[in-house]
Chains A and B, each alone.
Chain A
Amino acid sequence: MAKEKKKGWKALTKGGVIEGGGTAKEFKTGDWRSERPILLSEKCINCLACWMYCPDSAVIMKDGKVAGFDYDYCKGCGICAHECPVKGKAIKMIPDNHG
Protein backbone atom coordinates (compact mmCIF):
# COMPACT_ATOMS: atom_id res chain seq x y z
CA MET A 1 0.00 0.00 0.00
CA ALA A 2 1.30 3.47 -0.88
CA LYS A 3 2.52 5.61 2.03
CA GLU A 4 0.08 8.49 2.68
CA LYS A 5 1.28 11.86 3.97
CA LYS A 6 -0.43 12.27 7.34
CA LYS A 7 -1.77 15.62 8.53
CA GLY A 8 -0.35 17.46 11.55
CA TRP A 9 -2.48 18.32 14.59
CA LYS A 10 -3.39 21.79 13.36
CA ALA A 11 -4.90 20.42 10.13
CA LEU A 12 -7.04 17.67 11.67
CA THR A 13 -10.72 18.07 12.52
CA LYS A 14 -11.40 18.76 16.20
CA GLY A 15 -12.15 15.79 18.43
CA GLY A 16 -11.31 13.29 15.69
CA VAL A 17 -14.58 13.94 13.81
CA ILE A 18 -14.67 12.26 10.40
CA GLU A 19 -16.63 14.39 7.94
CA GLY A 20 -18.81 12.84 5.24
CA GLY A 21 -20.66 9.54 5.02
CA GLY A 22 -19.58 6.05 3.93
CA THR A 23 -15.99 6.73 4.88
CA ALA A 24 -15.34 3.22 6.20
CA LYS A 25 -14.71 2.30 2.52
CA GLU A 26 -11.59 4.47 2.57
CA PHE A 27 -10.13 2.52 5.46
CA LYS A 28 -8.23 -0.18 3.61
CA THR A 29 -7.91 -3.11 5.97
CA GLY A 30 -5.89 -5.40 3.69
CA ASP A 31 -2.59 -4.56 5.37
CA TRP A 32 -3.53 -6.71 8.37
CA ARG A 33 -3.02 -9.78 6.18
CA SER A 34 -0.26 -12.33 6.73
CA GLU A 35 -1.54 -14.74 4.07
CA ARG A 36 -3.36 -14.02 0.81
CA PRO A 37 -5.78 -16.20 -1.19
CA ILE A 38 -4.84 -17.14 -4.76
CA LEU A 39 -7.54 -18.29 -7.22
CA LEU A 40 -6.77 -21.38 -9.31
CA SER A 41 -9.27 -20.60 -12.10
CA GLU A 42 -8.83 -23.95 -13.86
CA LYS A 43 -10.11 -25.81 -10.76
CA CYS A 44 -12.90 -23.31 -9.83
CA ILE A 45 -16.46 -24.58 -10.38
CA ASN A 46 -17.97 -21.11 -9.67
CA CYS A 47 -20.20 -22.40 -6.89
CA LEU A 48 -19.76 -18.96 -5.20
CA ALA A 49 -19.29 -20.47 -1.72
CA CYS A 50 -16.24 -18.22 -1.24
CA TRP A 51 -18.26 -15.16 -2.31
CA MET A 52 -21.01 -16.01 0.19
CA TYR A 53 -18.70 -16.76 3.11
CA CYS A 54 -16.20 -13.90 2.68
CA PRO A 55 -16.76 -11.61 5.73
CA ASP A 56 -15.20 -8.64 3.92
CA SER A 57 -16.99 -8.89 0.55
CA ALA A 58 -13.53 -9.17 -0.97
CA VAL A 59 -14.30 -11.86 -3.57
CA ILE A 60 -14.50 -10.16 -6.97
CA MET A 61 -17.22 -11.40 -9.33
CA LYS A 62 -17.28 -10.86 -13.08
CA ASP A 63 -20.10 -12.12 -15.35
CA GLY A 64 -21.31 -14.51 -12.66
CA LYS A 65 -17.88 -16.04 -12.18
CA VAL A 66 -15.21 -15.69 -9.50
CA ALA A 67 -12.58 -13.35 -10.93
CA GLY A 68 -10.19 -12.91 -7.98
CA PHE A 69 -9.85 -11.07 -4.67
CA ASP A 70 -9.89 -7.43 -3.59
CA TYR A 71 -6.62 -7.19 -1.70
CA ASP A 72 -7.47 -3.70 -0.39
CA TYR A 73 -9.95 -5.30 2.01
CA CYS A 74 -9.09 -9.05 2.17
CA LYS A 75 -7.74 -9.69 5.68
CA GLY A 76 -6.39 -13.11 4.74
CA CYS A 77 -8.67 -15.01 7.13
CA GLY A 78 -8.71 -18.04 4.81
CA ILE A 79 -12.44 -18.77 5.14
CA CYS A 80 -12.75 -18.82 1.31
CA ALA A 81 -10.08 -21.52 0.97
CA HIS A 82 -11.51 -23.46 3.90
CA GLU A 83 -15.04 -23.45 2.45
CA CYS A 84 -13.99 -24.18 -1.16
CA PRO A 85 -15.73 -27.56 -1.86
CA VAL A 86 -13.47 -28.51 -4.78
CA LYS A 87 -11.31 -31.54 -4.19
CA GLY A 88 -7.75 -30.25 -3.95
CA LYS A 89 -9.13 -26.67 -3.48
CA ALA A 90 -9.50 -23.93 -6.11
CA ILE A 91 -8.27 -21.35 -3.57
CA LYS A 92 -4.83 -21.56 -2.06
CA MET A 93 -3.44 -19.42 0.80
CA ILE A 94 0.13 -18.22 0.30
CA PRO A 95 2.37 -16.06 2.54
CA ASP A 96 1.86 -12.34 1.89
CA ASN A 97 4.69 -9.81 2.10
CA HIS A 98 2.42 -6.99 0.90
CA GLY A 99 4.78 -6.34 -2.03
Chain B
Amino acid sequence: MAKTNIVARTGNEAMAEAMRQINPDVVAAYPITPATEIVQIFAGYVADGLVDTEFVPVESEHSAMSACIGASAAGGRIMTGTSSQGLALMAEMLYIASGLRLPIVMADVNRALSSPINIHCDHSDTMMVKDAGWIQIFSENAQEAYDNMIQAVRIAEEALLPVIVTTDGFIISHCMERIEIIDDKDVKNFVGEKKLGNYLLNVDKPITIGAMDLPDYYFEHKRQHIEAMIESKDIILSVAKEFSGLFGRSYGLFEVYRLEDADCAIVLMGSTVGTAKAVADNLREKGIKAGVLGLRVFRPFPKEEIAQALKNIKAIAVMDRSDSMNAQEGPVCLEVKASLFDDSASPNNVLNYIYGLGGREVRIEDIESVYKGLGEVIKGKSKNKITYLGVRE
Protein backbone atom coordinates (compact mmCIF):
# COMPACT_ATOMS: atom_id res chain seq x y z
CA MET B 1 0.00 0.00 0.00
CA ALA B 2 1.28 3.45 -0.92
CA LYS B 3 2.27 5.78 1.89
CA THR B 4 -0.19 8.51 2.86
CA ASN B 5 0.24 11.63 4.96
CA ILE B 6 -2.42 12.66 7.47
CA VAL B 7 -3.13 16.40 7.32
CA ALA B 8 -5.84 18.91 8.24
CA ARG B 9 -7.44 20.45 5.15
CA THR B 10 -10.66 22.20 4.15
CA GLY B 11 -12.47 20.85 1.10
CA ASN B 12 -11.16 23.71 -1.02
CA GLU B 13 -7.60 23.15 0.20
CA ALA B 14 -7.91 19.43 -0.47
CA MET B 15 -9.09 20.04 -4.05
CA ALA B 16 -6.29 22.57 -4.65
CA GLU B 17 -3.80 20.06 -3.25
CA ALA B 18 -5.07 17.42 -5.68
CA MET B 19 -4.68 19.92 -8.53
CA ARG B 20 -1.07 20.64 -7.48
CA GLN B 21 -0.27 16.94 -7.52
CA ILE B 22 -2.04 16.39 -10.85
CA ASN B 23 -0.06 19.34 -12.30
CA PRO B 24 -2.38 20.17 -15.24
CA ASP B 25 -1.10 22.01 -18.33
CA VAL B 26 -3.64 24.84 -18.14
CA VAL B 27 -6.03 26.16 -15.48
CA ALA B 28 -8.39 28.95 -16.54
CA ALA B 29 -10.75 30.22 -13.86
CA TYR B 30 -12.70 33.14 -12.42
CA PRO B 31 -13.30 33.56 -8.69
CA ILE B 32 -16.69 32.89 -7.09
CA THR B 33 -17.74 32.17 -3.52
CA PRO B 34 -17.41 29.51 -2.15
CA ALA B 35 -15.06 28.02 -4.80
CA THR B 36 -12.64 30.97 -5.01
CA GLU B 37 -10.07 29.43 -2.69
CA ILE B 38 -9.49 26.40 -4.89
CA VAL B 39 -8.00 28.39 -7.76
CA GLN B 40 -6.63 31.09 -5.43
CA ILE B 41 -4.54 28.50 -3.60
CA PHE B 42 -3.65 26.90 -6.90
CA ALA B 43 -2.57 30.28 -8.33
CA GLY B 44 -0.18 30.45 -5.36
CA TYR B 45 1.32 27.12 -6.41
CA VAL B 46 1.78 28.52 -9.93
CA ALA B 47 3.44 31.70 -8.57
CA ASP B 48 5.73 29.64 -6.35
CA GLY B 49 6.80 27.44 -9.25
CA LEU B 50 5.42 24.26 -7.66
CA VAL B 51 3.52 23.33 -10.83
CA ASP B 52 4.17 23.71 -14.57
CA THR B 53 0.67 25.01 -15.20
CA GLU B 54 -0.20 27.97 -17.40
CA PHE B 55 -2.72 29.87 -15.26
CA VAL B 56 -5.19 32.01 -17.22
CA PRO B 57 -7.04 34.60 -15.10
CA VAL B 58 -10.02 35.33 -17.35
CA GLU B 59 -12.78 37.96 -17.12
CA SER B 60 -15.76 35.61 -16.67
CA GLU B 61 -16.69 31.97 -16.25
CA HIS B 62 -17.89 31.86 -19.85
CA SER B 63 -14.35 32.81 -20.85
CA ALA B 64 -12.87 30.39 -18.30
CA MET B 65 -14.63 27.43 -19.88
CA SER B 66 -13.89 28.75 -23.38
CA ALA B 67 -10.17 28.92 -22.56
CA CYS B 68 -10.35 25.41 -21.08
CA ILE B 69 -12.00 24.13 -24.26
CA GLY B 70 -9.33 25.70 -26.49
CA ALA B 71 -6.50 24.42 -24.34
CA SER B 72 -8.00 20.93 -24.11
CA ALA B 73 -8.56 20.77 -27.87
CA ALA B 74 -4.93 21.85 -28.31
CA GLY B 75 -3.94 18.70 -26.41
CA GLY B 76 -3.43 19.80 -22.81
CA ARG B 77 -4.62 18.38 -19.49
CA ILE B 78 -7.03 21.04 -18.25
CA MET B 79 -8.73 21.86 -14.96
CA THR B 80 -10.89 24.65 -13.57
CA GLY B 81 -13.17 25.41 -10.64
CA THR B 82 -16.42 27.31 -10.10
CA SER B 83 -19.78 27.44 -8.32
CA SER B 84 -23.39 28.54 -8.71
CA GLN B 85 -23.74 31.63 -10.94
CA GLY B 86 -20.31 30.87 -12.37
CA LEU B 87 -21.44 27.41 -13.43
CA ALA B 88 -24.61 28.95 -14.86
CA LEU B 89 -22.55 31.40 -16.91
CA MET B 90 -20.46 28.49 -18.17
CA ALA B 91 -23.54 26.51 -19.19
CA GLU B 92 -23.32 27.27 -22.91
CA MET B 93 -19.68 26.23 -23.05
CA LEU B 94 -20.25 23.10 -20.94
CA TYR B 95 -22.26 21.56 -23.77
CA ILE B 96 -19.50 22.47 -26.22
CA ALA B 97 -16.79 20.88 -24.05
CA SER B 98 -18.71 17.63 -23.74
CA GLY B 99 -19.90 17.58 -27.36
CA LEU B 100 -16.31 17.96 -28.52
CA ARG B 101 -15.46 15.12 -26.10
CA LEU B 102 -12.81 17.13 -24.24
CA PRO B 103 -11.70 15.55 -20.92
CA ILE B 104 -11.69 18.72 -18.79
CA VAL B 105 -11.94 18.27 -15.00
CA MET B 106 -13.83 20.86 -12.96
CA ALA B 107 -14.09 21.37 -9.21
CA ASP B 108 -17.60 22.63 -8.53
CA VAL B 109 -18.63 23.79 -5.07
CA ASN B 110 -22.41 23.40 -4.82
CA ARG B 111 -24.18 26.69 -4.06
CA ALA B 112 -27.75 27.93 -4.49
CA LEU B 113 -28.66 29.83 -7.64
CA SER B 114 -30.10 33.34 -7.48
CA SER B 115 -32.68 34.72 -7.06
CA PRO B 116 -32.95 35.43 -4.10
CA ILE B 117 -29.19 35.81 -3.99
CA ASN B 118 -27.59 33.35 -1.61
CA ILE B 119 -24.04 32.04 -1.27
CA HIS B 120 -24.77 28.86 0.69
CA CYS B 121 -25.12 25.23 -0.25
CA ASP B 122 -27.72 23.50 -2.27
CA HIS B 123 -27.45 21.43 -5.42
CA SER B 124 -29.44 23.64 -7.78
CA ASP B 125 -26.34 24.78 -9.70
CA THR B 126 -25.08 21.29 -10.46
CA MET B 127 -28.59 19.99 -11.16
CA MET B 128 -29.07 22.83 -13.65
CA VAL B 129 -26.32 21.35 -15.82
CA LYS B 130 -27.18 17.70 -15.23
CA ASP B 131 -28.02 17.26 -18.92
CA ALA B 132 -24.87 18.98 -20.22
CA GLY B 133 -23.16 15.68 -21.01
CA TRP B 134 -20.59 15.91 -18.20
CA ILE B 135 -19.91 13.13 -15.74
CA GLN B 136 -20.97 14.35 -12.26
CA ILE B 137 -19.33 13.02 -9.11
CA PHE B 138 -20.50 14.12 -5.64
CA SER B 139 -18.34 14.07 -2.51
CA GLU B 140 -19.42 13.48 1.09
CA ASN B 141 -16.38 15.17 2.65
CA ALA B 142 -12.95 16.68 1.92
CA GLN B 143 -11.32 13.25 1.65
CA GLU B 144 -13.74 12.17 -1.06
CA ALA B 145 -13.33 15.51 -2.83
CA TYR B 146 -9.57 14.99 -2.92
CA ASP B 147 -9.81 11.36 -4.04
CA ASN B 148 -12.50 12.15 -6.62
CA MET B 149 -10.38 14.89 -8.22
CA ILE B 150 -7.49 12.48 -8.73
CA GLN B 151 -9.74 9.76 -10.13
CA ALA B 152 -11.60 12.28 -12.32
CA VAL B 153 -8.52 12.92 -14.46
CA ARG B 154 -8.28 9.25 -15.38
CA ILE B 155 -12.05 8.88 -15.83
CA ALA B 156 -12.27 11.93 -18.09
CA GLU B 157 -9.38 10.90 -20.30
CA GLU B 158 -10.52 7.29 -20.65
CA ALA B 159 -14.17 8.16 -21.29
CA LEU B 160 -13.32 11.26 -23.36
CA LEU B 161 -15.91 13.13 -21.32
CA PRO B 162 -15.47 16.14 -19.06
CA VAL B 163 -16.02 15.55 -15.34
CA ILE B 164 -17.49 17.76 -12.61
CA VAL B 165 -16.40 16.87 -9.07
CA THR B 166 -18.59 18.58 -6.49
CA THR B 167 -18.39 19.45 -2.84
CA ASP B 168 -21.07 21.16 -0.74
CA GLY B 169 -20.52 24.91 -0.34
CA PHE B 170 -19.08 25.90 3.08
CA ILE B 171 -20.10 22.55 4.65
CA ILE B 172 -17.23 20.78 2.87
CA SER B 173 -15.45 23.64 1.11
CA HIS B 174 -14.64 25.63 4.27
CA CYS B 175 -14.69 23.05 7.09
CA MET B 176 -11.37 21.60 8.14
CA GLU B 177 -11.12 17.84 8.34
CA ARG B 178 -8.53 15.17 8.89
CA ILE B 179 -7.68 13.73 5.51
CA GLU B 180 -5.06 11.46 4.02
CA ILE B 181 -2.96 12.92 1.23
CA ILE B 182 -1.21 10.62 -1.19
CA ASP B 183 2.49 11.15 -1.97
CA ASP B 184 3.15 13.44 -4.96
CA LYS B 185 4.94 10.75 -6.94
CA ASP B 186 2.12 8.24 -6.44
CA VAL B 187 -0.47 10.72 -7.72
CA LYS B 188 1.81 11.49 -10.66
CA ASN B 189 2.08 7.78 -11.48
CA PHE B 190 -1.65 7.22 -11.01
CA VAL B 191 -2.76 10.00 -13.36
CA GLY B 192 0.14 9.29 -15.78
CA GLU B 193 0.73 11.22 -19.00
CA LYS B 194 -2.28 12.27 -21.03
CA LYS B 195 -2.75 9.92 -23.98
CA LEU B 196 -3.22 12.05 -27.04
CA GLY B 197 -5.59 11.17 -29.86
CA ASN B 198 -6.50 14.00 -32.20
CA TYR B 199 -5.29 17.38 -30.97
CA LEU B 200 -4.95 20.78 -32.60
CA LEU B 201 -1.23 21.34 -31.92
CA ASN B 202 -0.29 18.18 -33.83
CA VAL B 203 1.16 19.79 -36.97
CA ASP B 204 1.75 16.38 -38.55
CA LYS B 205 -1.97 15.57 -38.48
CA PRO B 206 -4.11 18.66 -39.01
CA ILE B 207 -7.75 18.45 -37.87
CA THR B 208 -10.86 20.58 -37.77
CA ILE B 209 -12.88 20.65 -34.55
CA GLY B 210 -16.27 22.21 -33.93
CA ALA B 211 -17.43 21.95 -37.54
CA MET B 212 -21.11 22.46 -38.24
CA ASP B 213 -23.30 19.35 -38.11
CA LEU B 214 -26.49 19.63 -40.09
CA PRO B 215 -29.49 17.31 -39.56
CA ASP B 216 -27.66 14.51 -41.41
CA TYR B 217 -24.83 14.12 -38.82
CA TYR B 218 -25.78 15.82 -35.51
CA PHE B 219 -27.86 12.90 -34.26
CA GLU B 220 -25.05 10.39 -34.93
CA HIS B 221 -22.57 12.47 -32.93
CA LYS B 222 -25.06 12.79 -30.06
CA ARG B 223 -25.59 9.02 -30.18
CA GLN B 224 -21.80 8.61 -29.74
CA HIS B 225 -21.95 10.98 -26.76
CA ILE B 226 -24.80 8.94 -25.21
CA GLU B 227 -22.78 5.75 -25.67
CA ALA B 228 -19.74 7.36 -24.03
CA MET B 229 -21.90 8.19 -21.00
CA ILE B 230 -23.22 4.60 -20.86
CA GLU B 231 -19.70 3.15 -21.13
CA SER B 232 -18.27 5.56 -18.55
CA LYS B 233 -19.90 3.57 -15.72
CA ASP B 234 -17.40 0.74 -16.21
CA ILE B 235 -14.52 3.23 -16.54
CA ILE B 236 -15.50 4.92 -13.25
CA LEU B 237 -15.59 1.51 -11.53
CA SER B 238 -12.28 0.31 -12.97
CA VAL B 239 -10.50 3.55 -12.02
CA ALA B 240 -11.99 3.27 -8.51
CA LYS B 241 -10.78 -0.33 -8.25
CA GLU B 242 -7.23 0.63 -9.21
CA PHE B 243 -7.35 3.59 -6.80
CA SER B 244 -8.58 1.36 -3.98
CA GLY B 245 -5.85 -1.22 -4.65
CA LEU B 246 -3.14 1.43 -4.46
CA PHE B 247 -4.42 3.75 -1.76
CA GLY B 248 -6.93 1.68 0.24
CA ARG B 249 -10.04 3.83 -0.05
CA SER B 250 -12.92 2.17 -1.91
CA TYR B 251 -15.35 3.92 -4.21
CA GLY B 252 -18.28 2.81 -6.37
CA LEU B 253 -21.12 4.47 -8.23
CA PHE B 254 -22.73 4.90 -4.80
CA GLU B 255 -22.09 3.89 -1.23
CA VAL B 256 -24.41 1.47 0.51
CA TYR B 257 -24.49 1.86 4.29
CA ARG B 258 -26.26 -0.75 6.44
CA LEU B 259 -28.61 -1.30 3.52
CA GLU B 260 -28.44 -5.10 3.13
CA ASP B 261 -31.10 -5.90 5.78
CA ALA B 262 -32.70 -2.45 6.01
CA ASP B 263 -36.47 -1.87 6.07
CA CYS B 264 -36.20 1.85 5.38
CA ALA B 265 -33.54 3.78 3.51
CA ILE B 266 -32.59 7.31 2.61
CA VAL B 267 -31.10 8.04 -0.83
CA LEU B 268 -29.15 11.31 -1.07
CA MET B 269 -25.85 12.82 -2.11
CA GLY B 270 -23.22 15.22 -0.85
CA SER B 271 -22.34 16.14 2.72
CA THR B 272 -25.69 15.11 4.24
CA VAL B 273 -24.84 11.47 3.47
CA GLY B 274 -22.63 11.62 6.57
CA THR B 275 -25.47 12.96 8.74
CA ALA B 276 -27.80 10.24 7.46
CA LYS B 277 -25.25 7.54 8.27
CA ALA B 278 -24.92 8.87 11.84
CA VAL B 279 -28.72 8.83 12.24
CA ALA B 280 -28.93 5.30 10.79
CA ASP B 281 -26.37 4.17 13.39
CA ASN B 282 -28.44 5.71 16.21
CA LEU B 283 -31.65 4.12 14.95
CA ARG B 284 -29.99 0.72 14.56
CA GLU B 285 -29.17 0.84 18.28
CA LYS B 286 -32.88 1.27 18.90
CA GLY B 287 -33.64 -1.74 16.72
CA ILE B 288 -34.85 0.20 13.69
CA LYS B 289 -33.43 -1.23 10.48
CA ALA B 290 -32.30 1.99 8.82
CA GLY B 291 -29.93 2.23 5.87
CA VAL B 292 -28.43 4.84 3.55
CA LEU B 293 -27.62 4.93 -0.15
CA GLY B 294 -25.12 7.73 -0.71
CA LEU B 295 -25.09 8.55 -4.39
CA ARG B 296 -21.58 9.38 -5.64
CA VAL B 297 -22.09 9.33 -9.40
CA PHE B 298 -25.18 11.23 -10.58
CA ARG B 299 -24.09 11.25 -14.23
CA PRO B 300 -24.10 8.63 -15.60
CA PHE B 301 -27.07 7.64 -13.43
CA PRO B 302 -26.56 4.10 -12.04
CA LYS B 303 -30.10 2.99 -12.83
CA GLU B 304 -29.91 -0.82 -12.72
CA GLU B 305 -27.47 -0.83 -9.80
CA ILE B 306 -29.74 1.41 -7.70
CA ALA B 307 -32.82 -0.70 -8.45
CA GLN B 308 -30.86 -3.77 -7.36
CA ALA B 309 -29.58 -2.12 -4.17
CA LEU B 310 -33.06 -0.92 -3.15
CA LYS B 311 -35.10 -3.94 -4.17
CA ASN B 312 -35.74 -5.26 -0.63
CA ILE B 313 -36.31 -1.90 1.06
CA LYS B 314 -39.89 -1.43 2.24
CA ALA B 315 -39.90 2.39 2.26
CA ILE B 316 -37.46 4.76 0.61
CA ALA B 317 -36.94 8.50 1.09
CA VAL B 318 -35.07 10.32 -1.63
CA MET B 319 -33.68 13.61 -0.35
CA ASP B 320 -33.17 16.33 -2.95
CA ARG B 321 -31.10 19.42 -2.18
CA SER B 322 -32.75 21.26 -5.08
CA ASP B 323 -36.13 21.41 -6.74
CA SER B 324 -36.73 21.14 -10.47
CA MET B 325 -39.60 23.66 -10.28
CA ASN B 326 -41.65 21.12 -12.20
CA ALA B 327 -44.56 20.91 -9.72
CA GLN B 328 -43.52 17.36 -8.88
CA GLU B 329 -40.55 15.56 -7.25
CA GLY B 330 -36.94 16.76 -7.21
CA PRO B 331 -34.39 15.57 -9.79
CA VAL B 332 -32.75 12.78 -7.77
CA CYS B 333 -36.13 11.38 -6.71
CA LEU B 334 -37.42 11.32 -10.28
CA GLU B 335 -34.39 9.39 -11.46
CA VAL B 336 -34.57 6.93 -8.56
CA LYS B 337 -38.29 6.40 -9.21
CA ALA B 338 -37.60 5.83 -12.91
CA SER B 339 -34.97 3.23 -11.96
CA LEU B 340 -37.45 1.41 -9.72
CA PHE B 341 -40.31 1.66 -12.21
CA ASP B 342 -38.36 -0.41 -14.74
CA ASP B 343 -37.58 -3.04 -12.10
CA SER B 344 -40.82 -4.78 -11.18
CA ALA B 345 -39.30 -6.40 -8.08
CA SER B 346 -38.97 -3.01 -6.40
CA PRO B 347 -41.35 -1.40 -3.93
CA ASN B 348 -43.47 1.62 -4.70
CA ASN B 349 -43.08 3.34 -1.35
CA VAL B 350 -40.88 6.25 -2.34
CA LEU B 351 -41.17 9.59 -0.56
CA ASN B 352 -39.41 12.76 -1.64
CA TYR B 353 -37.91 15.25 0.81
CA ILE B 354 -36.73 18.57 -0.56
CA TYR B 355 -34.20 19.88 1.98
CA GLY B 356 -31.44 22.35 2.68
CA LEU B 357 -32.19 24.95 0.00
CA GLY B 358 -29.96 28.01 0.22
CA GLY B 359 -27.88 26.42 2.99
CA ARG B 360 -30.82 25.68 5.36
CA GLU B 361 -29.27 23.47 8.03
CA VAL B 362 -30.14 19.80 8.10
CA ARG B 363 -29.81 18.42 11.59
CA ILE B 364 -29.88 14.97 13.12
CA GLU B 365 -33.54 15.59 14.16
CA ASP B 366 -34.49 16.41 10.56
CA ILE B 367 -33.07 13.14 9.29
CA GLU B 368 -34.75 11.31 12.19
CA SER B 369 -38.08 12.78 11.10
CA VAL B 370 -37.50 11.39 7.60
CA TYR B 371 -36.89 7.88 8.96
CA LYS B 372 -39.94 8.33 11.22
CA GLY B 373 -42.03 9.10 8.13
CA LEU B 374 -40.74 5.94 6.48
CA GLY B 375 -41.64 3.93 9.58
CA GLU B 376 -45.21 5.22 9.35
CA VAL B 377 -45.39 4.24 5.67
CA ILE B 378 -44.25 0.71 6.57
CA LYS B 379 -47.06 0.55 9.15
CA GLY B 380 -49.53 1.40 6.41
CA LYS B 381 -50.07 5.10 7.11
CA SER B 382 -50.37 7.34 4.11
CA LYS B 383 -47.85 10.18 3.89
CA ASN B 384 -47.39 13.17 1.62
CA LYS B 385 -45.34 12.12 -1.40
CA ILE B 386 -43.32 15.33 -1.17
CA THR B 387 -42.20 17.05 2.04
CA TYR B 388 -40.35 20.35 2.17
CA LEU B 389 -38.16 19.52 5.14
CA GLY B 390 -37.74 22.32 7.65
CA VAL B 391 -39.54 25.03 5.68
CA ARG B 392 -41.72 27.39 7.75
CA GLU B 393 -45.40 27.20 6.88
Which residues does A use to contact B, with CB under 8 Å? 6-10, 12-21, 23
**Number of B positions contacting A (CB below 8 A):** 24
* Contact present for A15 and B220 (CB under 8 Å): no
- Compute how far the CA of A9 lies from the CA of B198 in the bound complex, rounded to whole angstroms: 18
Task: Write the B193-236 contact mask toward A (1 if CB under 8 angstroms, else 0).
Answer: 00001100000011111110100110111011001100000000
B79 on the interface (CB 8 Å rule)?
Answer: no
Q: Beyond A6-B217, A9-B220, A9-B224, is A16–B211 a contact (Cβ under 8 Å)?
A: yes
Q: Is the CB of A20 within 8 A of B100?
A: no
Question: For the complex, would chain A's binding face be called helix, strand, loop or mixed by DSSP majority?
Answer: loop
Q: Which of A12, A14, A16, A21 has the most CB of B within 10 A?
A: A16
- Interface residue B375 (Cβ < 8 Å from any Cβ of A): no
Q: How far is the CA of A62 from the CA of B305 in the complex (A)?
A: 69
A19 and B207 in contact (CB under 8 A), knowing A12-B221, A12-B224?
yes
In the A-B complex, the 9 residue pairs with the smallest Cβ-Cβ separation, listed nearest first, are: A15-B101, A21-B206, A9-B220, A18-B208, A9-B223, A15-B100, A16-B221, A17-B198, A14-B101
The distance in angstroms between the C-alpha atoms of A12 and B220, with both chains bound, is: 8
- Please tell me if B99 contacts chain A, counting CB pairs below 8 Å: yes
Residue ranges of B at the interface with A (Cβ–Cβ < 8 Å): 99-102, 160, 197-198, 205-211, 213, 216-217, 219-221, 223-224, 227-228
Question: A16–B210 contact, CB under 8 A?
Answer: yes
Point out the residues of chain B lying under 8 angstroms from A13, CB to CB.
Answer: 198
CB <8 Å contact, B206 and A15: no
Cross-chain contact of B217 among A16, A17, A21 (Cβ < 8 A): A16
Interfacial chain B residues near A16, Cβ < 8 Å: 99-100, 209-211, 213, 217, 221
A18 neighbours in B (Cβ, 8 Å): 207-209, 211
Not counting A9-B220, A17-B207, a sample of 8 additional A-B residue pairs whose C-beta atoms are within 8 angstroms of each other reads A6-B217, A15-B102, A16-B99, A16-B213, A16-B221, A17-B209, A18-B211, A20-B206
The CB with the most chain B CB atoms within 10 A, among A6, A12, A14, A23, is that of A14
Sampled A-B contacts (25; CB under 8 Å): A9-B220, A9-B221, A10-B224, A12-B217, A12-B220, A12-B224, A14-B101, A14-B160, A14-B228, A15-B100, A15-B102, A15-B160, A15-B209, A16-B99, A16-B210, A16-B213, A16-B221, A17-B209, A18-B207, A18-B208, A18-B209, A18-B211, A20-B205, A20-B207, A21-B206
**B102 surroundings in chain A (CB, below 8 A):** 15
Closest-by-CB residue of A relative to B206 is: A21
Kindly state the separation between the CA atoms of A20 and B211 in the bound complex, as whole angstroms: 13
Closest to A20 in B: B206
Q: Give the complex CA separation of A17 and B99 in angstroms.
A: 11
Beta-carbon contact of B99 and A15 below 8 Å:
yes
| Nearest CB on B from A7, distance (A) | 8
**Closest residue of chain A to B101, judged by CB?**
A15
Report the minimum CB–CB distance from A42 to chain B (whole Å): 41
CB nearest to B209 among chain A residues: A17
Contact B101 A8 (CB under 8 A): no
Which chain B residues lie closer than 8 Å to A6 at the CB level? 216-217
- A6, A9, A10, A12 — which one has the most chain B CB atoms within 10 A of its CB? A9
Closest A residue to B226 by CB, please name it. A9
In the assembled complex, the Cα of A18 lies from the Cα of B200 at a distance in Å of 11
Give chain A nearest CB distance to B108 CB in angstroms.
Answer: 22
User: How near does chain A come to B342, taking the closest CB pair, in angstroms?
Assistant: 24
Chain B residue numbers with a CB within 8 Å of A17 are 198, 207-209
CB distance from B158 to the nearest CB of A (A): 13
Q: What is the CA–CA distance of A36 and B77 in the complex, to the nearest angstrom? A: 49
